Chains A and B, each alone.
Chain A
Amino acid sequence: MPATPARTIKTATDGKIVIGVGDLAVSNEPSTHLITYALGSCIGVTIYDPVAKVGGMLHFMLPSSKTNEEKAKNQPAMFANTGVPLLFKGTYDLGAKKERLVVCAAGGAEVLADDGHFKVGSRNRTILRKLFWKNDILVIGEDTGGSISRTLKLCMADGTVSVSTKGKEQVLWPT
């Protein structure tokens, strides 16, 4: 597993930390929220420890770093298999405990009429499930698939996770 880059802890601007594509951030600042916009076939993952009030968000683009090993070294959050371990480690470094973590995911959409050859969104969803299953992690809230764009938000004060699509917001956690 690669070392946690210092850049996983970021400074909020106007109370929010924007997670770009192929990016991640962790925080223990209760006045902040983490947000990522326009999730398409990419997947946004949030984790939050309600006791330590530590959380993080990842926006990964592709399932496996085998696509571009060099790129994965410089930008591990671009890939599920390198980004997810970094996200978890980043929150552990701030005091989170695995057994208390609330995990949510959104995104993984598909273009229409993909003949089954590419399935970028579906492959992203599959590898995420495999990663979590191997590590005995349960996804509590999920809004994935379809062909829609989503915005994912994690409120650091209480761990509320919400997804917005076309102006409508739904809460993934608490359920």
Chain B
Amino acid sequence: MADVSKILKGINKLPALPASAGRIITMMSDKHVDLGEIADIVRLDEALSIAVLHYGNSVHYGRPGREFDLRECLVRLGGDMMMKIVLQQQVGTLMERGGEAFGLRRGALWRGALGGAFAADHLGKRHSGSDSELCFLCGMLRDIGKLALDMHYGAEYVDRVAKHLEPSMTFTEAERSAFGTDHAEVGAELALRWQLPSRIADAIRFHHDPPAHEPEHDALFDIVHAADILCLWAGLAIGQDGLQYKLVPHVRKSLGLSRRDAEVEIAMLWSKVQEVEESMDMTTNERAA
């Protein structure tokens, strides 16, 4: 019980957030895109360059019949898209092997991060006044707490939580019952240690339980929560925790989310995830859900 300090101490053993990802996150938070700096990050990284070439020459961005080089791809894709590609690759490196503490198959934590990023991005674009880039970022990072729990407990974590889990209980409630904290809180603490802005840390903290009322209410938290639920429905990143999470009642109304909207999003998510995995030379079906 109340093992929080031990868990947080274990966080120090985590690999650091890659410096280039930290720089991109700062650009996103400050709304200041430096395409020259992004280009420098890409040129120094072979895997990133390959991903940029893939996107720049995909049918979505390029004209058929002509192949664009790296410089042309950087210009064609633009700053916002480039930031997303760098994040996908850098955060992917961090999360690709994660998820053991929740009984996830290899690659599933990363796939869930990507799905959350795309779902939050779409929801952010639909919701007036929301910053879709920030939504993308928070959707991607929402489960970083699971990385810390991997390093501290490994597969033992889910087994210990399972002993406290009742059918009507959410998995986060069972985590708190077993350990005095949960993966959302641990993730928020990790984000603060990575010196990410406090609003991002709070989006991670509240991704299973966004506050309904002012002054704590924030549409960003609602969006990240809805993105997380959409990923569960899409079968992305389902571990031994299953679907034992609640859909917070105020979120559907605050986002104006209909059943049809949700199903369209679910159908879209796998396509987007597969596209990224192909660009990063990861095979989806080999490690399928």
Contacts and interface: CB of A to CB of B under 8 A. Distances in A.
B235 A112 contact: no
Interface stretch (A14-22, A26-34, A97-105, A129-137): A14-22
Contacts of B238: 38-40, 149
Nearest to A72: B267
A54 interface: no
A120 B244 contact: no
Contact of A113 (B241, B246, B262): B246
Interface string A115-133: 1011011000000000000
Interface residues of B, number: 41
Interface centre among A18, A109, A112 (most CB of B within 10 A): A112
Interface size bracket, A side: 35 or more
Contact of A41 (B103, B167, B233, B264): B233
B84 interface: no
B284 interface: yes
A155 interface: no
A41 B243 contact: yes
A118 to B, nearest CB: 6
A147 B244 contact: yes
A149 B233 CA distance: 11
B232 A111 contact: yes
Nearest to A60: B235
B245 A115 contact: no
Contacts of B267: 61-62, 67-68, 71, 78
A36 to B, nearest CB: 7
B247 to A, nearest CB: 5
A38 B263 contact: no
B5 interface: no
A67 B246 contact: no
Interface in A134-164: 146-149
A21 B289 contact: yes
B64 to A, nearest CB: 18
A23 B234 CA distance: 13
A114 B242 contact: no
A68 B263 CA distance: 9
Interface string B87-118: 00000000000000001010010000000000
28 contacts: A20-B285, A20-B288, A21-B289, A38-B105, A38-B108, A38-B239, A40-B233, A40-B242, A40-B243, A41-B233, A41-B235, A59-B235, A61-B235, A61-B267, A62-B266, A68-B264, A68-B267, A78-B267, A111-B229, A112-B168, A112-B243, A112-B245, A118-B262, A120-B266, A146-B242, A148-B244, A149-B242, A149-B243
Interface of A: 18-23, 36-42, 59, 61-62, 67-68, 71, 78, 109-115, 117-118, 120-121, 146-149, 166
Given A111-B243, A112-B168, A146-B242, 4 more contacts: A18-B286, A20-B285, A38-B238, A120-B266
